[in-house]
A and B are shown apart, each in its own frame.
Chain A
Amino acid sequence: MAQMTMIQAITDAMRTELKNDDNVLVFGEDVGQNGGVFRATEGLQDEFGVDRVFDTPLAESGIGGLSIGLALQGYRPVPEIQFFGFVYEAMDSISGQMARMRYRSGGSKSAPITIRSPFGGGVHTPELHADSLEGLIAQQPGIKVVIPATPHDAKGLLIAAIRDNDPVLFLEHMKLYRSFRGEVPEEEYTVDLGKADVKREGKDVTLISYGAMVHASLKAAEELEKNDIDAEVIDLRTVSPIDIDTIVESVKKTNRVVFVQEAQRQAGVASHVISEIQERAILHLEAPILRVTAPDTVYAFSQAEEVWLPNHKDIVNKVNEVINF
């Protein structure tokens, strides 16, 4: 098995699907000869030609609309939004158009589009690059929102996303792109969309997170272990729709939950998941569900972002609160 960074795994997934299916098209701003600003599409244009892998004019709504039109001609577009903070420009294309295609046409048309976009903090980007806006799209029925935390999951989830006949937003945390390597099978495989993964088993408390916060949660679990607190870490992997069964099963075992998200507190994935848990498993809870999140400001200017972002110490503190409730 190969050792790959997440970005290598992502490139590998696109290469696999470009090989497998002539209808797969990869496009976006600078994805062609330049290979993408993060090099996610590096070498793909040379390998598959400008007909399959190509640059677009600089316009996110246009990229969204182009994807829909190509999907209507039977293609499987894999467009890139260069930074997820630019997604506001494409909101109608995504939420108003592709997410409704199947519904609007009474099931007679679909939009098998996989939008890839880098997001996430801790890499000192300028404004409107790092913002965690997954909660925005996760509120829209008709589109799946996928956020991998490991190179292995990234490849399997991206292949599954490209093969899915409904639109998928595939968000790639910038800090995870090259921060570590993991084992990734060279052959093709898929990881089911809509399925959470228990990244660490434990019996005292459930930490639910996704993206970069999975790693902060795992680090917190190691710290907690020193004090004999055994934390279970669930990686949602897909934040819409939510795999509530895996969560409820864990809650029944641990009776305590801390939800960890990099996004601000006031809306997003945590709020929804916590509502679901209280409806389905309230009598299994020994303490209130607490959240570790960023504060309710616009994303931090870069000099303050290390403090603004949640970290493993914040998680340890919250876990101690629910344990000692």
Chain B
Amino acid sequence: MKHVLESVESQFETFQILDENGKIVNKDNMPDLSDDDLKELMRRMVYTRMLDQRSIALNRQGRLGFYAPTAGQEASQLGSQFALEKEDYILPGYRDVPQLIWQGLPLYQAFLFSRGHFHGNQFPEDVHALSPQIIIGAQYTQAAGVALGLKKRGKKNVAITYTGDGGTSQGDFYEGINFAGAYQAPAIFFVQNNYFAISVPVEEQTAAKTLAQKSVAAGIEGIQVDGMDVLAVYAVTKDARERAIKGEGPTLIETLTYRYGPHTMAGDDPTRYRTDDLDNEWEKKDPLVRFRKYLEGKKLWSEEEENKVIEEAKDDIKKAIKKADEYPKQKVTDLIGNMYEELPNHLQEQMEEYKEKESK
């Protein structure tokens, strides 16, 4: 039996294109991206890092609500999103707001989501996505359904869903990948393994050596990727997407990544479960640093360019916060009105009660 496990594990070596020094180590798998594409990828990562810093500051000032920091995970989040088409469907976890923003969710709505205003979840019609899932794993079974729907509609699109290392312990994780496998549905199951499910390290989460190997039991493709390498993440997601729309079935992608910050801003203190040494080790792998080195080597990026993006991000954030501030306050009567398509009698009565209460 040990032999079986070892033979499975050996199939899941980490896929990488760009090393920590910004050097291409896997030329054959270099994705087909133009210089403009490469610059756009960098722009999105820099912008998102700035958005993360500002969101943390705004949260501390009490100007945002729920927030799950993203710094460290930009390559995983934006490399995968960059491989998508506009009509692809995203089913995100609670940390996956950046993908939604780059897929077209207006920034002020992301802020309203954070503040707990329902308009943050009223997505524009051309943003094919659900709002971030809070329960760990539910999005996996739903992604199987969206993907099957896309297949039945004959669309050349995929459903992509995200969870973390902890999410792979959920029953829904397995049910989702197994259903999609059984129907050969065009789904991409994305696991951002950032080593800690809040505080529990991945070694205590599972005896499996990789999370990618969990694909084997469902009979679907699985691959482990360097999640700090944006080119590698892009390449495997693009490949998974192409195979999915050709009818070759779903893929489970595990990215090895790290969140520099706490689990969320609601009081989590990573120093209780992580060492400085570990944090430093991961910061050396920073996705922005290595991609910047690579682009500078190709004369595609400069400090000036980077500063321009940072200023642009700051300006956008300021405007979006202002817009969120000015957005009409949410009322209980709005919430009552959103429960059913038509208000049942008991809610009509309660609506009147709350109209009265809100008029005072």
Contact = CB atoms under 8 A, between A and B. Distances in A.
Interface of A: 51, 56-57, 59, 61-62, 64-75, 92-93, 96-97, 102-110, 141-142, 164-166, 194, 241-245
A64 B122 contact: no
Give the residue among B123, B142, B153 with the most A Cβ atoms within 10 A. Answer: B142
B145 A105 contact: no
The 3 closest A-B pairs by CB, nearest first: A69-B145, A65-B141, A73-B149
A51 B152 CA distance: 8
Given A70-B148, A97-B135, 18 more contacts: A56-B182, A57-B179, A61-B172, A62-B175, A64-B141, A65-B140, A68-B141, A70-B146, A72-B130, A72-B145, A75-B152, A103-B118, A105-B130, A141-B339, A142-B339, A194-B344, A241-B344, A242-B346
B172 A65 contact: yes
A59 B173 CA distance: 12
Contact of A67 (B145, B147, B339, B347): B145
Contacts of B122: 105-108
Contact of B335 (A61, A64, A103): A103
Nearest to B153: A73
Interface in B112-155: 118-119, 121-123, 130-131, 135, 138, 140-150, 152-153
Contacts of A72: 89, 130, 142, 145-146, 149
A242 B123 CA distance: 32
Interface of B: 89, 118-119, 121-123, 130-131, 135, 138, 140-150, 152-153, 159, 171-172, 175-176, 178-179, 182, 334-335, 337-341, 344-347
A66 B141 contact: yes
B149 A74 contact: yes
A164 B342 CA distance: 10
Given A62-B141, A62-B179, A103-B338, A244 B172 contact: no
A62 B131 contact: no
Nearest to A64: B141
Contact of B340 (A69, A97, A142, A244): A142
A56 B144 CA distance: 12
Contacts of B340: 102, 142, 166
Contacts of A104: 118, 121, 131
Nearest to A99: B339
Contacts of B123: 105, 108
A164 B172 CA distance: 27
Contacts of B345: 194, 241, 243-245
A215 B145 CA distance: 39
B76 to A, nearest CB: 23
Nearest to A242: B346
A245 B171 CA distance: 43
A73 B152 contact: yes
B149 A75 contact: yes
Contact of B146 (A73, A107, A242): A73
A261 to B, nearest CB: 19
A57 B177 CA distance: 11
A57 B148 CA distance: 14
B248 to A, nearest CB: 19
B55 to A, nearest CB: 22
A162 B121 CA distance: 26
A178 B148 CA distance: 35
B349 to A, nearest CB: 9
Contacts of A75: 149, 152
B299 to A, nearest CB: 44
A106 B146 contact: no
Contacts of B159: 69
